[in-house]
Amino acid sequence: MALIVQKYGGTSVGNVERIRNVAIRVAQTKKKGHKVIVVVSAMSGETNKLVDLANQTKEFPIGREYDVVVSTGEQVTIGLLSLALQDLGFGAKSFLGYQVPIITDNAFSKARIEEIETANIFSELKKGNIVVVAGFQGVDRNGNITTLGRGGSDTTAVALAAALKADVCEIYTDVEGVYTTDPNICPDARKLKKVSYDEMLEMASLGAKVLQTRSVEFAKKYNVPVMVKSSFTDAEGTLVTKEDKSMEKVIVSGVTYNKDEAKITIARVPDRPGIAAKLFAPLTKANINVDMIVQNVSHDTYTDLTFTVSKADFKKALQLVEKTAKVIKAGKVLSDTSIAKVSIVGAGMRSHAGVASKMFETMAKEGINIQMISTSEIKISAVIDIKYTELAVRVLHKAFELGKEEVTEEK
Ligand code: ADP
Ligand code: ASP
Ligand code: MG
C-alpha cells in the first residue's frame, strides 16, 4: 500500500464529464488499496477570467484581495471532484488551502510555501477517505488567503507529497509527459522516459510550463519522485528524478520558449557606480523579478540598459523605471511586449564548444533577429520577436537532432 499524491491540471478538470473521468481514475488507485490525496487546478480558462476581472476592477490589483479573487476557481473543482467521488461510492473530503493548512509567506500572487500541517489530512486518510486539496492557494500566518503564482497547483502537489512523505507525486496533464520541446507546437517532439531534477528545473524556469519551477525545486530538495502523465490516456509518462547513469548524456536535451516576458530599455543611462542599483532597487521592493539584463559598453559616459520582466509585472515595472529614469536623468524609456525568449537546455553543453554559434546560425538562416542573449553553463537563451517563436523552436529542435527519428531512445 502506498501513499500517492495525484494532481490534475485545468484541462483535465475542464468540465463535469472530465471531472467524472478524473474521479474514475482516482477511484481506481484507491481500489488498489493506496491512500490517495488529489490536488486539482481550476477548470481551464477559469483563472485567466478571474485575473481579467481583477484587472478590470483596479489598475494594479495585486495584493490581498487579488488572491481572494483568483484562488476561487479551485474551490469549485475540489467540491465537484469530491461530489463525483461520492457519487461513485467513495468517501471524499475537500480542503481549501487554509483548511489544510498550507502556510505561506505573504507575497500575494507569488507566495512561497513555508510549512504544511499534515494532521488533518492524515486523520481523513485514516478514516478511509480520499482527500481532495485545492491547488495554487495557501494562507499566510495572519489568516490571509494567498496564491502561489500561475501554474502553482504543481507546487501544491509536490509540496504536499514532500510533507506527507508520499511514495510518488503523479502530475496528470494534457500531454503524455515531458518532451524535448512543447509537443503542441513541434509535432516531432520526443517524450523523455526520465529527466533529472536539474534539467527539468532549467526547462521549467525557461518556459516549459508542464511543471511549475517551484514544484521542481521542492521535488529536488525533498527527493520526491515526480511522474508526469496524461489524464486522458494510459501511456507511460516521464519520471523526474535524481540524475543517474542511464540518462542521456546529450549536449542539448530540450528547447523551450517563454512568451510571457516583456522588455524594458532605458536609453542614455549615466555610466556611474550605483546607477544600476538605483534602477533595480524599486523593482526588488515591489517583489518584481528581473530576468535577463543587458548593458551596453558605454561611449560618451552613457550606456543603454535593457532587461526583461514577466508580462504580469510589466506595467508596474515600467511605471517604477520611468520614475527612477527621471531622477537619475537618463534618456527615454522604451518597452516591447511582443517578445519571446527561446532557449536550448542541456547538461552536456558544459563541455562542448560551438553550441551557441550553431544556435545563432540556425536562427540567422531563417532570418530571425536576436535582440538579447544570455547564457549559463547548461543553457543559452535568445530574445526574439514573438512572431518567430514557433519557427525558432522547430528549427532549433531539428538542428540539435532532438526529434523522434534522429536520437535513439534511452533505456
Ligand atoms: P495543466 O493545466 O495540466 O497544469 P499546463 O498547460 O500547465 O497543464 O502544462 C501542460 C502544457 O505544457 C502542455 O499542454 C504543453 O503545451 C506545455 N509544454 C511546454 N513545454 C513542454 C514540454 N517540454 N513537454 C511537455 N509539455 C510542454
Ligand atoms: N489555476 C491556476 C492557474 O491557472 C493554478 C494551476 O493551474 O496550476 O495558474
Ligand atoms: Mg500547469
User: For the segment 69-98, what is each residue's pLDDT rounded down to a tens digit?
Assistant: 999 999 999 999 999 999 999 999 999 999
Is residue 158 scored above 90 in pLDDT?
A: yes
Q: Tell me if residue 166 falls in helix, strand or coil.
A: coil
Average pLDDT over residues 280-294: 94
Do 270 and 304 contact (CB within 8 A), yes or no?
no
Probe residue for ligand 1, chosen from 18, 39, 158, 175 as the CB with the greatest number of ligand atoms within 8 Å: 175
Look at 354 and 179; give whichever has higher pLDDT. Answer: 179
- Give the C-alpha separation, 343 to 358, whole Å: 13
Distance between CA atoms of residues 394 and 399, nearest Å: 9
**Which ligand is closest to the CA of 183, given by its number?**
1
Q: Which atom of ligand 2 is nearest to the CA of 151?
A: 8
CB 89 within 8 A of CB 130: no
Cell 499524491: give the residue. 5
Q: Does the structure show a pLDDT above 70 at 395? A: yes
Residue with CA closest to ligand 2 atom 4: 47
pLDDT over threshold 50, residue 251: yes
State residue 122's pLDDT score: 98
Q: How far is the CA of 230 from the centre of ligand 3 (A)?
A: 13
Q: Taking 50 as the threshold, does the pLDDT of residue 350 lie above it?
A: yes
* pLDDT(246) > 80: no
For ligand 2, whether the C-beta of 152 sits within 6 Å is yes
What is the pLDDT, as a whole number, of residue 209? 93
Output the nine-digit C-alpha cell for 274: 550605483
pLDDT, residue 247, reads 65
What is the Å distance from ligand 1's center to 138 Cα?
23
pLDDT of residue 298: 75
Q: What is the mean pLDDT of residues 290-300?
A: 86
pLDDT average, residue stretch 393-402: 96
Q: What is the mean pLDDT of residues 17-35?
A: 98
Atom 4, ligand 1: residue with shortest CA distance = 9
Question: With a 6 A CB cut-off, is 176 part of the ligand 1 pocket?
Answer: no
The full set of domain ranges for the chain reads: 3-174
Q: Determine the distance separating the centroid of ligand 2 and the alpha carbon of 204, expressed in angstroms.
A: 15
Euclidean distance between CA atoms 390 and 169, whole angstroms: 31
Which grid coordinates are listed for 49? 477570467
Distance 150 CA to ligand 2 centre (A): 5
Q: Report residue 352's pLDDT band, with 50, 70 and 90 as the boundaries.
A: confident
CA 200 to chain centre: 11
Grid cell in block for residue 40: 486539482
Ligand nearest to the CA of 170: 1
- β-pair partners for 307: 264, 293
Q: Is the CB of 173 under 6 A from ligand 1?
A: yes
- For domain 3-174, the CATH architecture is 3-Layer(aba) Sandwich (3.40)
Which pLDDT band, with edges at 50, 70 and 90, does 406 fall under?
A: very low
Q: What whole-number distance in Å separates Cα of residue 130 and Cα of residue 36?
A: 6
Choosing from 7, 47, 155, 173 the residue with most ligand 1 atoms within 8 A of its CB, the one to mutate for a pocket test is: 173
Contact (CB, 8 A) for 349 and 355: yes
Can you tell me which residue has the cell 517532439?
Answer: 189
pLDDT (0 to 100) of residue 111: 97
Task: Tell me the mean pLDDT in the region 124-128.
Answer: 98
203, 256 in Cβ contact below 8 A? Answer: yes
Q: What is the overall mean pLDDT for the chain?
A: 94
Burial of residue 268 (CB within 10 Å: 0-12, 13-18, 19+) is middle
Q: Which atom of ligand 1 is nearest to the CA of 8?
A: 3
State the distance from the centre of ligand 3 to the C-alpha of 151, rounded, in angstroms.
4
Rounded Cα distance, 321 and 408, in Å: 49
The sign of the torsion formed by the CA atoms of 410, 204, 179, 175 equals positive
Q: What SS3 state is found at 168?
A: strand
**What number is the average pLDDT over the span 356-365?**
96
* Mean pLDDT, residues 381-389 taken together: 98
Per-residue model confidence (pLDDT) at position 329: 94
CB atoms within 10 A of CB 247: 18
d(CA 238, CA 209): 15
Is the model's pTM score more than 0.85? yes
Which runs of E-coded beta strand occur in 10-124?
A: 35-40, 92-95, 102-104, 113-116
Which one of 12, 47, 109, 113 would you pick to mutate in the ligand 2 pocket, going by the greatest count of ligand atoms within 8 A of its CB? 47
Which bound ligand lies closest to the C-alpha atom of 228? Answer: 1
| Overall average pLDDT of the 191-197 stretch | 93
Average pLDDT over residues 16-39: 98
